[in-house]
Amino acid sequence: MWRGSIIDKIMEIEIMPLIKEKKDIDFEQVTTNAVELAKRQFKFSEQKLYRIKENSESKVGNDYCILDIHEANVPYTEEQLQNVYDSVKQIIIGIPEIKMPNGETVLTFLKKASFIVPNLRGWSFEFENIRISPQIDLFMFVENKAVVLDWKVSESAVSDYSRQLVMGGITVMDTYRKKSEAGTGKRLTFSDIRLLEVNLFKKSAVEHSFNKEVVNECVDYIYLNSEDIELLTEGKSFDQLNIEDFPITDKEGTCFFCKFRPLCAHILTNKNQYHEETYYNSFQAEQPA
């Protein structure tokens, strides 16, 4: 996950600005900058500077980082750390080799863009009192088509990110519908929007379908999941919920990828009791001398 966030940040602050300005990219230099950024982030996390109240992400900037190996005292080896740095290098250096489904390179495709916004946030769509605000890695217009592009660095052969991209497509369509109604933009149809998934690790690019059928399926999925949450919580606020009322997952993968794994383990081993100072001190006590 950390490797992915480093790549996303480098795409946003280094590579995409150069493409937007139609400048050549020195990928060797970008690679060096990426590893230096990773090392600064590691040092920031290692020193637990994120615990200083004044050190918010907005104030610190790109060096801000919290790694579970520091916050939750998760064991790691220097070899694992070096593997992250080496993998970041390999991924960035390999970007020029990635090709679109039609055979042209991804870089050639990106350079055709007439409008580029990396890391687009703030756009959302709403239905049935549910608001969805997806993060769009890259939004642009290429050959009069609105393109929603998602960078991935996943090694999995079975991961499916199409629904995530469809949510981005719905958001773009709804945003431009509002622009059209306000007289500030053109209304977009399904055929005006392209969804692209570029896996920088696998050096592959896939285009996902965007039509009425996939949108309806995605909306149904969102609604059913929100309904599940509503049924589970019975409309209660967080403060009104009791953890003992909920079953523990029997799926190992759910726990493995959950960001709250250390907190959950702490609560379970302390008979569902939580105290901020005790939780914090438990990590301090686990730190090696």
**In the chain, domain spans:** 2-93, 106-220, 242-289
pLDDT of residue 147: 98
What pTM, to 2 d.p., does this model score? 0.75
Task: Give residue 229's pLDDT.
Answer: 62
> In terms of C-beta distances under 8 Å and separation of at least 24 residues, what long-range contacts does 173-180 make, across chains too?
174/125, 175/123, 175/125, 176/146
Q: What is the pLDDT along the chain (289 residues), one digit of tens a residue?
A: 899 999 999 999 999 999 999 999 999 999 999 999 999 999 999 999 999 989 988 899 999 999 989 988 888 999 999 999 999 999 999 999 999 999 999 999 999 999 999 999 889 888 767 788 898 999 999 999 999 999 998 876 556 778 889 999 999 999 999 999 999 989 999 999 999 999 999 999 999 999 999 998 888 877 766 555 666 666 677 677 776 776 666 666 667 667 677 777 777 777 777 777 777 666 555 554 4
Domain 106-220 coded CATH 1.20.1300: no
* Residue 109 pLDDT: 97
pLDDT recorded at residue 87:
96
User: What token pair was written down for 23?
Assistant: 């400048």
Measure the CA–CA gap between 246 and 226, rounded to whole angstroms: 17
Compute the distance between CA of residue 121 and CA of residue 134 in angstroms, rounded to an integer: 7
Give 34's contacts (C-beta < 8 A, 6+ positions apart): 6, 7, 10, 14, 88, 89, 92
Closest CA to 281 of 73, 46, 12, 117: 73
Answer left, alpha or beta for residue 234, where phi above 0 means left and psi between -120 and 50 means alpha: left
Tell me the C-alpha distance between 162 and 110, whole Å.
20
Q: Please give the full DSSP string across 24-41, using - where no structure is assigned.
A: ---HHHHHHHHHHHHHHH
